[in-house]
Amino acid sequence: MKNECGKTRKVNDPYEVYRSAGGWEWRVLKKWQAPDKEAGNPYSRWFCAVKSPMTFGNYDLGDVYVSEVKSLAYKVVAPVNEKW
């Protein structure tokens, strides 16, 4: 399977957005592996812009483990063609 999310995007145009009840938000800007490879790899990672109560409204950029995001947050669905 081809990695459709392999090119880095801007913070206001992420591939996906995840949020948690604690005020955390992960904007997925790049996926390093295709979804079929991520499923079998506990160390698969995404490049994300992350906002939390400790970032004072700003985003921190960096790699995060896919399993961590999916265990803590839910995926937010945006209307078609709407920029974040």
- Residue 11 counted as domain residue: no
- Residue 81 counted as domain residue: no
- Residue 8 counted as domain residue: no
Structural domain containing residue 24 = 16-76
Number of structural domains the chain divides into:
1
Q: Each residue of 8-31: b (16+ CB within 10 Å) or e? A: eeeeeebbbbbbeeeebbbbbbbb
At residue 45, φ and ψ (nearest 5 deg) are -140, 160
pLDDT in tens, 34-63: 989 998 899 999 999 999 999 999 999 999
- Residue 7 counted as domain residue: no
- Residue 9 counted as domain residue: no
- Residue 32 counted as domain residue: yes
- Residue 84 counted as domain residue: no
pLDDT in tens, 11-27: 999 999 999 988 999 99
